Structure 1
Amino acid sequence: MSGHSSYQPRTGIERWLDTRLPIVRMVYDQFVAFPVPKNINYAYAFGAILAVFLIVQIVSGVVLAMHYIPHEKMAFASIEHIMRDVNFGWLIRYIHMNGASFFFFAVYVHTFRGMYYGSYKEPREILWILGVIILILMMATAFMGYVLPWGQMSFWGATVITNLFSAIPYVGDPIVTWLWGGYAVGNPTLTRFYSLHYLLPFVIVGVVILHVWALHVTGQTNPDNVDPKTPDDTVRFTPFALTKDAVAIGVCFIAFAWFVFYVPNYLGHADNYIPANPGVTPAHIVPEWYLLPFYAILRAVPDKLGGVIAMFGALIVLMFLPWLDGSKVKSAAYRPWYRVFFWIFVADCIFLGWLGAKPPEGIFPTLSQVATVWYFAHFFIIIPALGYFEKPKPLPESISEAVRLRHERPSLYARLMNR
């Protein structure tokens, strides 16, 4: 998409390096002169927000690993040591804790934005699948990180979730035994989770590099999903898109700082500040908030194996979205019925998250089943049907025309004043 390189080395050192390792040319072409559609909005800034938070999580995690002891008798005490005795240890841990929540909030918005604007459609199928793989790796990493403090919720969360693999025929029990390192959650389990939690972020970095590479091959989508036809349809990434991303990152970090300094434990669970006790089961075992929708789907199915299949299926189905949606029009801005069902789907996901935090009693299991059925119906019934029967609005001829029409469209205030 970037076309012929416009980079011109200015000094002898630049020319010498460019003929041997053209890394400066690559950075210039991909992050300075790279053309982006001029109609992208702030919803497209969440990719940059995710990149920044990935760096924050890795740096803070490496520092925490220097002081953490992955042993069942010392893990909880090492966390207290970090909080009380390590210089700014409390700050680093709160950054890491709340950074995970902000990371997931950004990735969910990023995913919903991709669904709304049809970023999964041809030729961006690989780009979308890599994004789903990143989401799955993030969930695995976050779950293992949640176990490391070795509090009550950490221990029992690990016990419940790892036990789910035993429902898989033939290979389930060996997988559980390998995860535990024995016949119960204990010190070998903690060591394994610590190792994997430290390793997986670097795997995520590798997949992110592929994700960005795929993006730069196929080009950035835009709210109107009209491919750029002339140079007037695009702007340079730097300074135009970079400035927009910087503003969004700044606003996000203001909210992040508020959580870190004023309500650092708001998104956590009080039981995780109690040392792990295998003899005392918490009244209600729940994962972190960003895993609650899938936890609700897991509990919605009475059968253990069926629940595991539904939970993992809720993620795997996202990979097949490019082939489930048969509509030729990508953006929901020109698909009125898809837009309605999209927001119903978003509400359903939020509802599942709320149900995941509720005890599995009373009306909550029934509501979880209804919400789970709607979740899968959205992918297997609603989206394919809309692809055949929906009549989209006419698309603009170019990005420049879409921008012009948007600016010429009178505002709500103007329409009210003219009445």
Structure 2
Amino acid sequence: MSNTKEFEPTDWKSPEMQARIRRRYRRDRRFKVMGVMAVSLAALFLFLLIGKIARDGAMGFLQTSLDIDVTFSESVLGDPRTMSPDEFEAKVRQANMIRLLDDALRGHFPEVQSRSDRRALIRMVSGGAREQLRTMVLETPAIVGSTRTVRLLAGDDIDQLRKGKIDANEAEGNRKVKDKELGWYQKLDEEGRVSLNFHTRFFTSGDSRDPELAGIWGATVGSALTLVVTLLIAFPIGVLTAIYLEEFAPQNRLTDIIEININNLAAVPSIVFGLLGLAVFLGVMHLPRSAPVVGGLTLALMTLPTIIIAARASIKAVPPSIRDAARGLGASPMQVVFHHVVPLAMPGILTGTIIGMAQALGETAPLLMIGMVAFIVDIPGGFTDAATALPVQIFLWADSPERAFVEKTSAAILVLLTFLIAMNGLAIWLRQKFERQW
């Protein structure tokens, strides 16, 4: 007697089955609608975030300038025709450039007489105007004794007024630009002496207390030096570790523990690596604080697990037939790995390395722990000079009380996003160009 259970054929046209099919289709449609809504909501939030940053950051790339007629007086600067070059340079470096600015602005506003009004008038111009005039005289001594129209950076309050961030129609007590300053500004604007120009100094200078003088070049150089140290340490160690674990290490309890810990380290919060760097590199090794070499060593520790995991996955993806063919031709184990396996796995290794470096570029917490949050004006010239990094510079500007730093923060974020997108785009290009299908 057969134990096979016989099933009756399903009547797909019965009312019960038709109802079940309709319910299944409704669930599928609801799921699709929820997925589309989730993606649309995420895209909307991303659009709003990027849009706000781009709107504020666009003004951060612009700066207000004032065209002022400056008389380069011999009584202040000396006569280059009667002085040696060294004497003239020393005289100019000690000259009171505030007097030149005061005379120039009073030439446009002769009615300003009181000391407080003259100070307010000078504040319309950036504090960097003095160094700008001094540089002009040192580069072209022949301008001494002449009057030139010089384009000077405006102070941050006048800059915000020109960009519409300060409402001129608001009551005087509620705005930083007072009525007298507003009148002076309007007079210069009517004469065509106020302009909004692309701010090249933002890309060529270091940090400053004055928003109109602050730039990202110092932080960019600091980030570049830090990433160089990170790459020189993390890439060879990470790749060699992946090669050993994947090709040479015996499969035992010790290697299992190592693999588990590498995977766990990839999920450790980045600030933990900052604490480790603070304790080891600064506390034990006494390396210079706030230096790219310390930042690079700390970020290398953080990046190592990412590179090792990506490299192991790339090496594992190489077919065993490649190894068997190399061994069959008499290649040694080292030749098999370094002449055949690693070259074929290199696109994936480079992709993982670039992604890890992009992650390191955007990190802030580890660098805060090792002191790269310091206010650094000078451009770092080496790996041991005091420096900051671009994400830390953004953090510092975001914490500044001046309204003008909001634009600088957004502009720096746009620059950082550009670097990150470029690095991830390079990783995608490498993967698509060199990846092989086995």
> TM-score, normalized by length of structure 2?
0.21
Whichever of the two has the greater Rg, that structure is: 2
TM-score, structure 1 normalization: 0.21
Q: Which has the higher contact order (CA 8 A, sep 6+)?
A: 1
